[in-house]
Structure 1
C-alpha cells in the first residue's frame, strides 16, 4: 500500500457508512469509512473490531450506554458485543477487524 490521505479517501467514497478495505493483514482488515451524522443500527460480529476516529467524532452505543470516541481515540468492541452508532457521528473512521 502506498501513502494514503485517509480523510480524502473517506470523502471520495460513494456513500457514508459503507467501508472500503484498504489492506488485509494476517486474518484482519484495515477499513475506512465516512460517517455522515446519521445513526447506524445494532450489529454484532464474531471478531473484535477496533474503531479509530481519524477526524470528527463517533457516538457509539454499547450495552445501552453512550460512548463518545473523539479524534485520535480508539474503542475496541469485543467479539460478540452488539453495538450501534447514534446520530451526530461524523468524520473519518478507520476500522480494524481481527
Structure 2
C-alpha cells in the first residue's frame, strides 16, 4: 500500500457516493469516497462497516435514530442493521469493510 492524502484522493473521484478501493488489510477493503449533500437510499450489509469521517459530516438514520458523525469520528454500522444517509452529509469518508474483494 502507498501513502494517500485521503481528502485529495476523494476530490479526484468522478462521482460523489461512489467509493474507490484503495487497498486491503487481510480480508478488509479500505475505501474512500466523496460525500455531497444528497441522501443515499437505505443499505444493509452482511458485515460490519466502519465509517470514518476524514472531514465534513455524515448524517445517518439507523433504526429511526438520527446520528451525526463528525470529522475524526468513526461509526460502525453493524452487520444486518439497515442504515440510510440523510440529506446534509458532506466531505470525505473512509470506509473499512469485509465485503468481497
Q: Secondary structure at the match of 1:7?
A: helix
Q: Which residue of 2 is the match for residue 95 of structure 1? A: 95
Give CA deviations for 1:19-49 in whole Å, capped at 9, x if unaligned: 0000112111000000011000001000000
TM-score, normalised by the number of residues in structure 1:
0.97
Runs of 4+ in structure 1 displaced over 6 angstroms?
none
Deviation at 1:85, TM superposition (A): 0.4
**1:58 Cα offset (Å):** 0.2
Alignment-derived partner of residue 77 in structure 2: 77
Q: CA RMSD in A?
A: 0.6
Long gaps (5+) in structure 2: none
TM-score (norm 2): 0.95
Aligned residue-pair number:
98
Q: In the alignment, does 2:37 pair up with 1:33? A: no
CA distance in 2 between counterparts of 1:2 and 1:96 reads 17
